[in-house]
């Protein structure tokens, strides 16, 4: 905190002045409070807003909506009286205005300068004395004093360094846009992460409307918070109720579908996992969307070896719907149940969420944050939950009915209305008709705990 609070200018000639000793609790914080952008999902990730004099890098693949997000943020900042400067290094002022008109961001107080050369940008910043400067993008800026073309690593690094210094000296909050390529290398900008205070990553499938904003590095607050947006006709809109969005098109009662509750940032989200199992023609393949592919391979092996669910020779497709992600072990149980359900063509019990990690031995393991996951499930109208057996002294309070299971086998027995159809069938065993199957193993049902 000292580094942002300590004066960076006005203490005499750099290097020569005797630095002032400050009592930490008396450091003057005026002018060092975050400026809320007014875009709630962005402010959430920034822990309040953009800090004067700070530098933020917004990375993302081309087309994710970086320019759109920042234009909306500038318009909102300008509406609350901030002076905003957009350095358009990739687009013309006309193009920027056309987009702003579509976004309703065509407001006074946002200044735009078409510039790609560093000296022109420095000049524009000192002339307009803005509170917030956006440079879109840093890869399009070059410094004639540095060898190499715009976008080369030395250019990007030198230009970013100069811009960060300019922001610090002028007290403006600086935001640099950086394009990331598909393989995740911030084509130069990865080399910028240590130069800036905050690195935001904007992600999303360009064919889906959902976008997630995450803080990869943040000097002024926690990382791990996620902002969710939907890209629409009028730009980006914050998603106020992500669980509702992810469950929008869900059809209850289909085989291969389960619901689970991963925690994204600090928020529990209710999402649907879908699986499709097919006979492999040659080498079994796994197609995974929104989940960790290695984890899915692991779960297929555990189902096969520990729970008698013969998936080893099958092609397996698993996805989280709506462009959501569930890349944490708490989704394991739901993935396993979706696979098992698809294999036997039986839906899992209606109105049920499944939450829990699966271990190598086929045991179910507890996961953090269970109460808030269950509360979110209940809010979305789920009445049953299948979860790992709680440790002594831990009770679950929501939803109405919580079934606990100690192992994947037990969970399979509890998840299907008429018991697990393959109960008792060994590896590679044939499916016994549902109904004639043995009932599920001992499962405690905790009723009326809420
Ligand atoms: P853009 O902000 O230009 O992305 P980036 O700066 O990250 O490259 O947005 C790109 C996509 O967003 C573009 O393909 C069109 C789409 N889009 C909308 O769907 N609605 C809108 O209102 C806007 C401005 C863009
Ligand atoms: Mg852009």
Q: Does ligand 1 have an atom closer than 6 angstroms to the CB of 72?
A: no
Across the beta sheet with 271-279, the strand order is 257-260, 271-279, 314-320, 286-289
Q: Does ligand 1 have an atom closer than 6 angstroms to the CB of 104?
A: no
Are 235 and 145 in a shared domain? yes
CB 352 within 8 A of CB 384: yes
Confidence bin at 436 (pLDDT 50/70/90)? very low
Query: If we measure between CA atoms, which residue out of 211, 226, 208 comes closest to residue 60?
Result: 211
- E strand or H helix at 403: strand 401-405
Distance from residue 277's CA to the centre of ligand 1 (Å) = 36
User: Under DSSP, is residue 123 helix (H, G, I), strand (E, B) or coil?
Assistant: helix
Assigned domain for 87 exists: yes
**383-400 pLDDT, tens per residue?**
999 999 876 555 555 455
Tokens found for residue 439: 């009932």
Are 53 and 141 in a shared domain? yes
Distances in whole angstroms, Cα of residue 270 to Cα of each of 205, 240, 261, 323, 340: 20, 13, 5, 13, 20
Are 230 and 249 in a shared domain? no
CB 87 within 8 A of CB 113: yes
Assigned domain for 21 exists: no
Closest ligand 1 atom number to CA of residue 136: 6
Are 184 and 259 in a shared domain? no
Mean confidence (pLDDT) of the chain: 85
Are 176 and 259 in a shared domain? no
Are 55 and 170 in a shared domain? yes
Are 171 and 298 in a shared domain? no
> Is residue 351 classed exposed, middle or buried when 0-12, 13-18 and 19+ CB atoms within 10 A define those classes?
middle
Residues 6 or more apart from 240 whose CB is under 8 A from it?
none
| pLDDT of 322 | 80
Helix axes of 408-415 and 332-344: crossing angle, nearest 10 degrees: 60
User: Under DSSP, is residue 199 helix (H, G, I), strand (E, B) or coil?
Assistant: strand
DSSP 342: H
Cis before 399? omega within 30:
yes
Q: Does ligand 1 have an atom closer than 6 angstroms to the CB of 231?
A: yes
Assigned domain for 335 exists: yes
Are 117 and 225 in a shared domain? yes
Gap between the Cα atoms of 141 and 392, Å rounded? 60
| pLDDT of 15 | 54
From 239, 254, 274, the end of a domain falls on: 239
Helix axes of 293-306 and 332-344: crossing angle, nearest 10 degrees: 60
Residue 57 has pLDDT above 90, yes or no: yes
Assigned domain for 276 exists: yes
Assigned domain for 15 exists: no
Q: How many CB atoms lie within 10 A of CB 62?
A: 12
Assigned domain for 16 exists: no
Are 322 and 358 in a shared domain? yes
**119-131 pLDDT, tens per residue?**
999 999 999 999 9
Are 140 and 198 in a shared domain? yes
Tokens found for residue 352: 């049920």
Please give the angle made by the CA atoms of 28, 30 and 33, to the nearest 5 degrees.
115
Q: Does ligand 1 have an atom closer than 6 angstroms to the CB of 54?
A: no
Confidence bin at 435 (pLDDT 50/70/90)? very low
From 179, 204, 239, the end of a domain falls on: 239
The whole-model pTM stands at: 0.79
Distance from residue 65's CA to the centre of ligand 1 (Å) = 5
Query: Which CATH number fits the domain that encloses residue 364?
Result: 3.30.230.10
Assigned domain for 445 exists: no
Residue 427 has pLDDT above 80, yes or no: no
CB 177 within 8 A of CB 138: yes
- E strand or H helix at 155: helix 153-170
Distance from residue 190's CA to the centre of ligand 1 (Å) = 23
Are 224 and 101 in a shared domain? yes
Query: Which CATH number fits the domain that encloses residue 68?
Result: 3.40.50.300
Are 351 and 369 in a shared domain? yes
**3-23 pLDDT, tens per residue?**
444 444 444 445 567 888 888
- Give the number of residues written for the chain: 450
Atom 14 (ligand 1) nearest CA: 63
Please give the angle made by the CA atoms of 313, 315 and 316, to the nearest 5 degrees.
115
**142-186 pLDDT, tens per residue?**
999 998 888 888 899 999 999 999 999 999 999 999 988 766 555
Q: What's the domain count of the chain?
A: 2
CB 263 within 8 A of CB 369: yes
> pLDDT above 90 covers what percent of the chain?
60
State which of 68, 70, 205 you would mutate to test the pocket of ligand 1, scoring each by most atoms of that ligand within 8 A of its C-beta.
68
**75-104 pLDDT, tens per residue?**
999 999 999 999 999 999 999 999 999 999
From 219, 239, 259, the end of a domain falls on: 239
| pLDDT of 247 | 87
Cα Dmax for the chain:
88
Distance from residue 181's CA to the centre of ligand 2 (Å) = 13
The residue segments making up the domain with residue 151 are 30-239
Assigned domain for 22 exists: no
CB 201 within 8 A of CB 214: yes
**Ligand at shortest distance from the CA of 206:** 1
Gap between the Cα atoms of 360 and 363, Å rounded? 7
Q: Does ligand 1 have an atom closer than 6 angstroms to the CB of 99?
A: yes
123 Rama sector, left if φ>0, alpha if ψ -120 to 50, beta otherwise = alpha
Q: Does ligand 1 have an atom closer than 6 angstroms to the CB of 234?
A: yes
Question: Which has more confidence, 429 or 282?
Answer: 282
């Amino acid at each position: 905190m000292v580094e942002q609070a300590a004066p960076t200018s006005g203490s005499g000639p750099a290097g020569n002045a005797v630095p002032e000793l400050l009592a930490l609790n008396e450091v003057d914080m005026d002018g060092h409070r975050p400026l809320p952008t007014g875009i709630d999902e962005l402010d959430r990730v920034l822990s309040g807003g953009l800090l004067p004099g700070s530098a933020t890098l917004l990375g993302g693949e081309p087309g994710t909506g970086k320019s759109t997000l920042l234009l909306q943020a500038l318009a909102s900042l300008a509406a609350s009286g901030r002076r905003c400067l957009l350095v358009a290094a990739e687009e013309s002022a006309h193009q920027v205005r056309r987009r702003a008109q579509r976004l309703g961001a065509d407001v006074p107080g946002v200044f735009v300068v078409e510039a790609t050369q560093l000296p022109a940008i420095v000049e524009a910043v000192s002339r307009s004395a803005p509170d917030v400067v956006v440079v879109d993008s840093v890869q399009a800026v070059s410094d004639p004093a540095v060898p190499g073309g715009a976008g080369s690593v030395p250019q990007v690094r030198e230009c970013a360094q100069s811009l960060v210094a300019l922001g610090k000296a002028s007290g403006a909050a600086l935001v640099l846009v950086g394009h990331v390529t598909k393989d995740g290398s911030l084509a130069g900008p990865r080399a910028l992460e240590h130069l800036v205070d905050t690195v935001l990553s904007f992600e999303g499938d360009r064919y889906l409307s959902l976008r997630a904003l995450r803080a990869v590095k943040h000097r002024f607050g926690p990382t791990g918070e996620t902002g969710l947006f939907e890209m629409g006709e009028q730009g980006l809109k914050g998603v106020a109720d992500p669980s509702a969005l992810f469950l929008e098109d869900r059809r209850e009662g289909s085989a291969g579908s389960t619901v689970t509750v991963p925690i994204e940032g600090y928020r529990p989200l209710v999402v649907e996992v879908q699986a499709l199992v097919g006979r492999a023609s040659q080498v079994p393949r796994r197609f995974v969307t929104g989940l960790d592919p290695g984890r899915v391979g692991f779960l297929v092996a555990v189902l096969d070896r520990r729970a008698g669910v013969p998936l080893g020779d099958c092609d397996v497709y698993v996805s989280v719907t709506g462009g959501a992600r569930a890349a944490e072990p708490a989704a394991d149980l739901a993935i396993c149940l979706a696979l098992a359900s698809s294999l036997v063509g039986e839906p899992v019990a209606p109105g049920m969420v499944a939450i829990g990690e699966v271990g190598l031995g086929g045991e179910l393991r507890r996961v953090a944050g269970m109460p808030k996951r269950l509360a979110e499930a209940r809010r979305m109208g789920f009445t049953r939950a299948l979860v790992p057996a709680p440790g002594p002294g831990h009770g679950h309070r929501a939803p109405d009915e919580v079934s606990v299971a100690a192992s994947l086998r037990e969970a399979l027995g509890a998840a299907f209305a008429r018991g697990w159809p393959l109960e008792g069938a060994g590896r590679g065993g044939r499916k016994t008709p549902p109904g004639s199957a043995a009932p599920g193993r001992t499962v405690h049902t905790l009723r009326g705990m809420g």
